[in-house]
Amino acid sequence: MGRTASVFPNMMTHQQVIDNFIKEGKAGSGTYVKSTGDLLYSKFPSGYSPYGHRAWGNVAGRQAPLAVRLEDGDLLVNGAALPYPMGSYQSQVLREVPDANLRFGVVPFHAIAAAWTDGEVREWDRAPFSIKDMQKEVGVVVPSAGERWREVTETDEHGRTETRTVHTLGDCVVRVHDRQFVSAVDETGPWGRGMYFMAELLSDREPKSIEEAFDLLKPKVVLDAEGRGVHVRRQGEWFAIPTMLRTSDLMADVSRGIAQYRQLHVLGRDGHHQLEEAVIYRAGDRKGEVYARGVLKHTGKEHQDLNLGAIRWHLVVHNVTGAAYTLSGAQAQFD
């Protein structure tokens, strides 16, 4: 097994290293958890082989950041999935930091690398910047509440409501260079588990809360509909607003040639969200608008199916965002 603090008296326990880093910003060294005061990380020797299993845990010779103290004193905790036993030290950090009376954000560092490079680099190990660069160029705008479970209430096409819980890393807003990104878990992710996403806010002002940040992702037509009490539904970056348009009116526009009726229409260029039935306007006052009914599904199965019903037509609109990334496993991926 690894060497322990009992063998080397000057070596700290992992918990001591974590506590001293979070609460006092002190450097420290444990067997597999270490801190410079600015960086808390987990590191394993290349010969790591507990119980004689060399590949056990898949961490031999690996190093991963757990948290970074930013230039203004805020903490940025790495929310990426880390292999055991690194993940257990990461969990300790996530448990401790909410009670430390300081501002922090929880963001997978893979996503920071993607945002920094406009998606050219999607893996933290290949990030073309140093920790010191990150300390200067990344900031916490809206702090996280930490790792938790959030209740989500959903309404189906028949008006029935259902409440379920979604795991979240702790929704927050971070700055990368001079751009702001909301980092959160999308409850429309697959199998009811939610899916991590990072989306750029196209706004010059800083949101004061995570709710305000989410509103900045909504186009005006969605905000107006919600202001009227309309129940707007969503799958990923697409919103569906119920309308009073009749099928006969839409098909009349199809017959006139200003709209096109399609089945299994995929939204957006190189998109992945497929509409069971759609009417797409090519001309006239509604040019560019898309109306849909039936099931909205993600062809890559990254979101739960959204059943809009077979009767009412919905106006389908995209969110307001710049670059956007999702995270699957330990890889930052575009949506």
Q: What is the pLDDT of residue 150?
A: 57
Q: How far is CA 304 from the centre of its chain?
A: 16
Residue-wise pLDDT tens digits, 279-329 = 999 999 999 999 999 999 998 888 889 999 999 999 999 999 998 887 654
Comparing 151-160, 192-201, 290-299, 321-330, the range with the smallest average pLDDT is 151-160
Closest CA to 111 of 335, 303, 327, 321: 327
- CB half-sphere exposure, 275, CA atoms < 13 A: 26
The pair of structure tokens assigned to 191 is 């199998």
Which of 239, 296, 286 lies closest to 260, judged by CA?
A: 286
Q: What is the pLDDT of residue 11?
A: 82
Contacts of 14 (CB under 8 A, 6+ apart): 30, 31, 32, 33, 89, 92
Average pLDDT of the segment spanning 92-116: 93
pLDDT tens string 137-149: 999 999 997 655 5
Q: In a 3-state reduction of DSSP, which class is residue 24? A: helix
Structure tokens at 204: 């010059």
Q: Is there a contact between 185 and 106 (Cβ–Cβ < 8 Å)? A: no
Query: Among all chains, which residue has been given the structure tokens 């292999």?
Result: 83
Is residue 61 within 8 Å of 132, Cβ to Cβ? no
Higher pLDDT, 154 or 196: 196
Q: Higher pLDDT residue, 6 or 233?
A: 233
- Flag the least confident range among 19-23, 169-173, 190-194, 302-306: 190-194
Structural domain spans, the chain: 222-319
